[in-house]
Amino acid sequence: MTPTPENDLRAAATAIVPELRARAEAVEEARRLPDDLSTRLATEGFYRMYAPVTYGGLETPPAIAMETVETLATGDGAPAWVTFIAITSTTALSILPEATCRKVFSHPETTMAGVFAPRGKAIVVDGGFQVEGQWPWGSGTQNADWVLAGCQIIRDGELETHANGAPRGRMMCVPRSEIEFVDTWYVSGLAGTGSTDFAIRDRFVPEAFAAGLGVDAPLDRPLYRFPQFGLLAMGIAAVALGLGRAAIDEMIEVAGGKIPDASRRSLAQRPNAQTEVALAEAGLRSARAFYYEAIERAWAEALDGRISIDSKRDIRLATTHATRAAAEAVDRMYTLAGGTSVYRRSPLQRIFRDVHVATQHMMVGPATLELTGRLLLGLETSEVGL
């Protein structure tokens, strides 16, 4: 049977994992992806999984894309994180005008990244916007060809709002040459993502390069029927699940050869170790099953025309749960390894730090449980957070 592009993606991710493991420490020390590694990820097609086919993208079904990201994370969380940010950013191509998209996505290895949160200000001027602002959490922006920056819109001195009073935001798409990078990324985990602040200083952005989430209609294709918040949260969980798998696999390898002090038996032969590994495996795989079940159900609905509120709810709940379950699995393995896990030579210490940065993202924070809980209880709830 001829391999499908989806199978090629997963196989390519599996093939690159050993290199990611070997380079993980150097990537962390660099605090960003080296250009050659980012180029390799782009060349393999990982960065264009969510880009429209019309412009040379793949429009990969979300479950396949997330399995690919998850696999990359078993090698190193940082390149997996940058990959999901890149693919989520390319969904802006489903909103922008065709002429803009063809200019931005001029070749298949084009890299996009950015921050959707409207932390900047865009003043309406003739033909476009005058943009000013600084954005934190700019994962992968130093490797990107184009950077997206969420802005509030100021028209005639007044803040534009939606009918519910919330600020009306747009994402400004600008070339990396117009971005100023601010060296802020000194962190405990996921250091290699290069998630430093970036700034735009009084730059003009043409109207055609401003995408309005929830304002401009996206391409009428199944992938772009997924809510933007859902796609973003799914990527976080995929990275966390990959980190959880890497931690369990590392612990199994360690346990077979480690003889604890004052013991003649290997760690693998101790009942406590057996219990902890079993609980971590069950917790991770159960959460993973719910996660992919929710994605596949939503995809089936998207193919049919529209994703239901129940499916949007389940995506948000499953992604938050998967991220938490993965962190719990990592914690069990880190603790079980004892003193071994604190040394820089142990991948467990980096995995521990990485997964606990992932859990801090607002897209998988406590508020998502409140939101989904309200929906499960049948309470009146806005769909905005979905």
Could you give all domains of the chain from N- to C-terminal order, each with its CATH number?
Answer: 5-94 (1.10.540.10), 113-211 (2.40.110.10), 226-376 (1.20.140.10)
Q: pLDDT at position 1, please?
A: 31
Q: How far is 285 from 245, CA to CA, in rounded Å?
A: 9
What lies within 8 Å, CB to CB, of 337 at 6+ separation is 251, 254, 258, 346, 348
In degrees rounded to 5, what are phi and psi of residue 190?
Answer: 50, 35
CB 174 within 8 A of CB 203: yes
What lies within 8 Å, CB to CB, of 167 at 6+ separation is 118, 152, 153, 159, 160, 161
For the beta carbon of residue 256, count every other beta carbon within 10 angstroms: 11
pTM score, whole prediction: 0.95
Rg of the chain over Cα atoms, rounded to whole angstroms, equals 21
Q: pLDDT at position 263, please?
A: 63
Question: What residues form DSSP beta bridges with 189?
Answer: none
Q: pLDDT at position 382, please?
A: 81
Q: pLDDT at position 216, please?
A: 65
Q: Which of 61, 35, 22 is nearest to 231 (CA)?
A: 61
* Sequential pLDDT tens for the chain (386 residues): 334 566 699 999 999 999 999 999 999 999 999 999 999 999 999 999 999 999 999 999 999 999 999 999 999 999 999 999 999 999 999 999 999 999 999 999 999 999 999 999 999 999 999 999 999 999 999 999 999 999 999 999 999 887 777 788 899 999 999 999 999 999 999 999 999 999 999 999 999 999 986 666 789 999 999 999 999 999 999 999 999 999 999 999 988 766 766 566 788 889 999 999 999 999 999 999 999 999 999 999 999 999 999 999 999 999 999 999 999 999 999 999 999 999 999 999 999 999 999 999 999 999 999 999 999 999 988 887 78
In degrees rounded to 5, what are phi and psi of residue 132?
Answer: -145, 135
Q: How far is 52 from 60, CA to CA, in rounded Å?
A: 9
Q: How far is 170 from 148, CA to CA, in rounded Å?
A: 10
CB 62 within 8 A of CB 226: yes
Q: Which of 318, 336, 350 is nearest to 246 (CA)?
A: 350
Residue 133 DSSP SS3: strand
